[in-house]
């Protein structure tokens, strides 16, 4: 005999991997998708930004693997929910660094730090540990290709470069950071170049990822699209894209 509990049993927790270029809406979409589904959200970009902040503060040489490996042993990154703003915030060695890691001087360096093999290996290991129980949304550059190549749902996000620069400028202005549009655009172009050409886990669309161009989509439309795909995968995880 059918019971409503049968539906609950049929719904499986999945991993949603969202990759893509900087400032195309990955984090915003991922956060809202996680909230809609009651899933956890992991901002892997914040993890690399926190490492970049630590390296900057400690003057770690990016070209010395031994210094990098030693520094990584002293880095502890965690996320804690701020009930006042209903957001997860990044903590580096017990200190809230959420605001500091979003500043432009970190943006200028994060792609170079992220390209270091030792850094990626350390962060990927942490990310895989976080996703063992599933029921998470994780965004970054190599989630669907390197961190969770078997994720049930993979999304690859992109958008027009000028729109990405404009969105980034508006985001910085909301945080009282006034940055020239061309500086932001050049920063995004530089990061794209590093992210897509690095030898260690380059930014690329997984073969089974859904392409989502956000250039002319509202945030609600982006979230609705991903949630719809996720709900299908939760019910029918074996369906291919």
Chain segment 85-99, per-residue pLDDT in tens: 878 899 999 999 999
Q: Is the pLDDT of residue 9 over 70?
A: no
Residue 235 has a pLDDT of 84
For residue 5, what pLDDT band results from cuts at 50, 70 and 90?
very low
What span, in angstroms and rounded, lies between the C-alpha atoms of 88 and 77?
Answer: 13
49-75: average pLDDT = 96
Between residues 96 and 8, which one has the greater pLDDT?
Answer: 96
Residue 10 has a pLDDT of 56
Q: Which domains does the chain have, with CATH numbers?
A: 12-235 (3.40.50.300)
Chain segment 180-235, per-residue pLDDT in tens: 999 999 999 999 999 999 988 899 999 999 999 999 999 999 999 999 999 999 88
């Amino acid at each position: 005999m059918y019971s409503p509990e049968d539906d609950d049993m049929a719904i499986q927790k999945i991993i949603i991997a969202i990759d893509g270029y900087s400032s195309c809406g990955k984090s915003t979409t991922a956060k809202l998708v996680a909230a809609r589904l009651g899933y956890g959200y992991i901002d892997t970009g914040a993890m690399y930004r926190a490492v970049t902040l630590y390296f900057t503060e400690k003057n770690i040489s990016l070209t010395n693997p031994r210094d990098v490996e030693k520094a990584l042993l002293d880095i502890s990154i965690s996320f804690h929910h701020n009930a006042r703003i209903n957001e997860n915030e990044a903590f580096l060695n017990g200190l809230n660094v959420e605001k500091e890691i979003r500043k432009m001087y970190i943006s200028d360096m994060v792609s170079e730090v992220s390209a270091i093999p030792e850094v990626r290996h350390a962060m990927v290991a942490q990310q895989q540990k976080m996703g063992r129980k599933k029921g998470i949304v994780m965004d970054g550059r190599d989630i669907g290709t390197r961190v969770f190549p078997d994720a049930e749902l993979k999304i690859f996000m992109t958008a027009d470069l000028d729109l990405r620069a404009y969105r980034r400028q508006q985001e910085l202005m909301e945080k009282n950071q006034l940055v020239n549009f061309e500086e932001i655009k050049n920063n995004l172009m530089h990061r794209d170049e590093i992210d897509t050409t690095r030898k260690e886990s380059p930014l690329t669309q997984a073969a089974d990822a859904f392409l989502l161009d956000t250039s002319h989509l509202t945030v609600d439309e982006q979230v609705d699209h991903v949630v719809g795909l996720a709900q299908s995968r939760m019910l029918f995880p074996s369906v291919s894209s």
